[in-house]
Amino acid sequence: MLTLALFIAACSTSEQQPAARASIGFDPAAWQPPTDAEIPADSLGASIRRGRALVTDTPDSLPAYAPGRISCTNCHLGGGLSVDAAPLTGAFVRYPRYLSRTGAVVGIADRVNYCFTRSLAGTRLPAESREMQDIIAYLAFLSRGIPVGMGDKVKGGKGIPGIGVSRAGDTVSGAQVYSAKCAACHGPDGEGNPALTPRGPALWGPQSFAIGASMARPGKAADFIWHNMPFGMGKTLTKDEAIDVAAYMTSRPRPDSPGKENDWPSGGAPADVPYRTAGRDVRVTPRLLPRANPAGAVVPAPPSVHRRSGR
């Protein structure tokens, strides 16, 4: 029994050592994302460059899967490097991860597909496709040198800092702010401006992000807007202006997210989620637009091979 106890202890220790070793000597504050010069000059490097092109010009590259007027890097600014705009650095080493919105542990391919189906109001990309693997290769490159489990520790890894939204936004005031400071890039009717470089994405209407996207939440939108908008002039709006324009933008019609009623199956949805979830109702939901491919707009929770319980 003593031998067995020592064996179990040794196994337990060996299982814990890799994670411990991985973080020893890693300084999240000093970590810097890799540069283009570090992209290898081989087939992996070609995949990394293709992945970057896909997230930068998503509708042009994948029109069947991202048919709107919005790209991944319209939210993940600077090719996914901007620390104030939900950077993609560290994302690869954060998955697999439990997501309360899904009620399951999901892998990186599913996480990418949540962006395709919700933030791009498109269709899920086959996980086995070359394009998905190229995107993942780019995400892995952006996490180079970050130990597994430390993705939240690097700059921007905890998401966009909250600005402390303590009141409901005023949509009338927000419409005025939008007209004065946003419409030049995003269009007077939120339709986007493809003539700009980078292109101004659609903020509402059939070619914008869906109701299930994080940006459709007024609080999340206000945080992003204050930190980053107008483009290149972040933190020049007052926080009240950001709150009001976020309220106006998120009140406008946008694509539906089929299956959204299954979000947060155990409850606990954030207060600014603008649609009904388990055990929770909302008073106002913006007008929702139908999706061309409703079945393709759903990323199902990972299925189980355990047929008896279905867990």
Task: Quick: pLDDT tens for 84-132.
Answer: 999 999 999 999 999 999 999 999 999 999 999 999 999 999 999 999 9
- State the pLDDT at residue 284: 80
Tokens found for residue 198: 């980078």
Q: What is the CATH number assigned to the segment(s) 171-297? A: 1.10.760.10
- State the pLDDT at residue 205: 98
Which residue intervals of the chain bear CATH 1.10.760.10? 36-142, 171-297
pLDDT band at 302 (very low <50, low <70, confident <90, very high): confident
232: left (phi over 0), alpha (psi -120 to 50) or beta: left
- Residue 280 DSSP symbol: B
Tokens found for residue 203: 């903020």
- State the pLDDT at residue 19: 44
- Say whether pLDDT at 154 is over 70: yes
What residues form DSSP beta bridges with 255?
Answer: 289
Q: Are 169 and 248 in contact (CB under 8 A)?
A: yes
Q: Which fold has domain 36-142?
A: Cytochrome Bc1 Complex; Chain D, domain 2 (1.10.760)
Q: Are 121 and 255 in contact (CB under 8 A)?
A: yes
CA distance 88 to 33: 10
Tokens found for residue 96: 């697999």
CA distance 261 to 197: 37
C-alpha distances in angstroms, 199 versus 8, 59, 73, 187? Answer: 58, 11, 10, 11
CA distance 185 to 193: 6
Q: What is the pLDDT of residues 1-36, one digit of tens each?
A: 444 444 444 444 333 334 444 566 899 999 999 999
